[in-house]
Chains A and B, each alone.
Chain A
Amino acid sequence: DGGITQSPKYLFRKEGQNVTLSCEQNLNHDAMYWYRQDPGQGLRLIYYSQIVNDFQKGDIAEGYSVSREKKESFPLTVTSAQKNPTAFYLCASSGPESSYEQYFGPGTRLTVT
């Protein structure tokens, strides 16, 4: 089955620790995205990558880092510099044309205490 997997579904960390969220897709999509969702808010773009070994900052990149070494994988690291990391994180991917819709993974709910 083609799709996007994110693991784990729930993640708990202590303040001051870096944590990496996994995102894998087997849809052969070129573009991948990371979004953050807070209660009552829409989705805000953290980082996106349109091709392997290249990525761009979104609207709220501070305190986050990414890598895109393989087409299938786009991990997101939430660093200790992120002041309010507790949120729901969604990964998405899309085909090469700008018209293509984005497909989303099931999300990871991160809680930092």
Chain B
Amino acid sequence: AQKVTQAQTEISVVEKEDVTLDCVYETRDTTYYLFWYKQPPSGELVFLIRRNSFDEQNEISGRYSWNFQKSTSSFNFTITASQVVDSAVYFCALKSDRGSTLGRLYFGRGTQLTVWP
């Protein structure tokens, strides 16, 4: 079974603080894909990153960075020097590469991040 857990329901920080959003996943597949999406107040989900199960390199994109660790089944997302515009709901998702669930995304419940000025 595929499952994604985002244990942090809400996080509040003050601008310029660093913040890490946790994501833990469960799958029996050897090949799978992990994603992060941002949902601003407008509602549309914005794709942020995709990582496949064979690539454990951490990635940095500007103020965003992602830490993928297969040993702990985690794919955490860090925002450095947070800004008010980072306020949104962030979703972690898992996609299987085979079988009847091919193509489906399994989402966590999301983490509401609020950045105060």
Contact = CB atoms under 8 A, between A and B. Distances in A.
A106 B39 CA distance: 10
A67 interface: no
B97 A90 contact: no
Contact of A31 (B37, B47, B103): B103
Interface stretch (B14-22, B68-76, B107-115): B107-115
Contact of B109 (A31, A40, A45, A102): A40
A98 B52 CA distance: 11
Interface string B21-60: 0000000000001010100001111110010100000000
A88 B43 contact: yes
Interface string B69-90: 0000000000000000000000
B90 to A, nearest CB: 11
Residue of B33, B35, B104 with most partner-chain A CB within 10 A? B104
Contact of A99 (B44, B45, B52, B109): B52
Given A42-B109, A45-B104, A98-B102, A104 B52 contact: no
22 contacts: A33-B105, A42-B108, A42-B110, A43-B91, A48-B104, A50-B103, A88-B43, A90-B43, A90-B45, A94-B103, A98-B33, A98-B95, A98-B97, A98-B98, A98-B102, A98-B103, A102-B105, A104-B44, A104-B45, A106-B43, A106-B44, A107-B43
Interface residues of B, number: 25
Given A42-B108, A101-B50, A102-B105, 6 more contacts: A42-B110, A43-B107, A50-B103, A94-B103, A98-B97, A107-B44
A40 B42 CA distance: 16
A107 B42 CA distance: 9
Contacts, number: 57
A105 interface: yes
Interface of B: 9, 33, 35, 37, 42-47, 50, 52, 91, 95-98, 102-105, 107-110
Nearest to A3: B44
Interface in A77-113: 88, 90, 92, 94, 98-99, 101-107, 109
